[in-house]
Chain A
Amino acid sequence: MAKSVKTNRFYVVLGVIALAGGAAIFWSRGDRGAQSGTLKPLEGSSAGAEAMPGYVVGSDSAKLEVLEYADFQCPACRMFTIITKPDVDERLVKPGLIRWRFRDRPLDGHAKSPVAHHAAACAGEQGKFWSMHDQLYLNQSDWVGGGTEKKIRSYAEKAGVDLAKYDECMKSQRYRARLAASAEQATAQGITSTPTFVFGPRMVSGALAYDALKAIVDSILGQKKAA
């Protein structure tokens, strides 16, 4: 009898642990990729942003520039680039509604990020930044696992980069200071996670879904039209 009571109590304890754990996991679903982005104001100043202006696609005459701060080792950035960015390019950038600027925001905890960002900058010297950008995100799970420099070099080759110039650039580490400055400038503006999107004086963090991003763009362009 006593044994049965003890066993029953144990099942209750087990059930409580299961419920608490299940609830915690369910609760953590809440911030799934910032499906509906809430804009908040940028902090500090953008002084120093010109040190690393980033990489731009889209028309100079576009009414709005969207600034993306991203880390090549960040899975949410990868998710955004693979799932959402093609729609953004096709439906917002190509028709000339927005201009897109990528700015480096290597995060401190990501040990392989500096190499990836430097490699992208070296590819950028040869006008191949976006090809390298795509290669790095598509192969993210591969190069974060080891043999990083060798693998990233092979992506540079796939992206059509002149490897002799690439090797010289990587060896020189000439973008290291500028990349660090870009990260510091982002931190000064309160951009501490990636991806973060900046729309003028406001920003939103998380891998936005296309509809959420489009809603923000529409609302800003609508305000500009009304003004």
Chain B
Amino acid sequence: MVIATLALIGLLIATYLWLWKIGVVGHIICGSGGCEVVQTSTYATFLGLPVALIGVVGYLTLLIVSLVGIQPRWIDHPGPTRLMAVLSGLGAAFAIYLTYLEYAVIEAWCRWCVGSAVIICAIFLTAILGMRGAKRTG
């Protein structure tokens, strides 16, 4: 449930950034102006796709997996938690790389992106704790 909530918040953040990127949202509420700098840099695209869109797809996947994981049929099955740990691990590694780029290369901070990085790392940690907890009880 914690993971689903975090994934939903992450999904909302990624959707906001993506809608700004494609011009649906006019002014990005950021505070420092760093969001615009980061979102218009070359690093805001990865393999030809906007990073924000990758975030939307990623968080949506995590949300679906987490909701499947709390269904009675799957709740005692380790599969969803393991899948969640793998997916969020990849997401966290990517987010850490992007945060490094903000710090060392772009030299600007996008607060929404940092927030998203914190969320994906929290999801990963929660999934790992969930796996360990399941092992102990199993």
Contact = CB atoms under 8 A, between A and B. Distances in A.
Interface of A: 7, 10, 13-14, 17-18, 21-22, 24-25, 28-34, 73-76, 78-79, 107-112, 140-142, 144-146, 206-207
Contacts of A79: 23
B26 A33 contact: yes
B84 interface: no
Interface stretch (B11-19, B87-95, B117-125, B130-138): B11-19
Q: Which secondary structure dominates chain B's binding surface? A: helix
Contacts of B15: 25
Interface of B: 1, 4-5, 8-9, 12, 15-16, 19, 23-27, 29, 32-34, 36-37, 39-44, 70, 105-108
A109 B41 contact: no
A32 B28 CA distance: 10
A32 B5 contact: no
Nearest to A142: B42
A32 B19 contact: no
Contact of B26 (A13, A31, A74, A109): A31
Nearest to A107: B33
A28 B27 contact: yes
A106 to B, nearest CB: 11
A13 B70 CA distance: 15
Contacts of B41: 141, 144-146
A72 B19 CA distance: 22
B8 to A, nearest CB: 6
Given A21-B8, A141-B44, 12 more contacts: A7-B70, A10-B4, A32-B24, A73-B36, A74-B36, A75-B36, A76-B26, A110-B37, A142-B42, A145-B105, A146-B105, A206-B27
A29 B26 contact: yes
Contact of B24 (A18, A29, A110, A142): A29
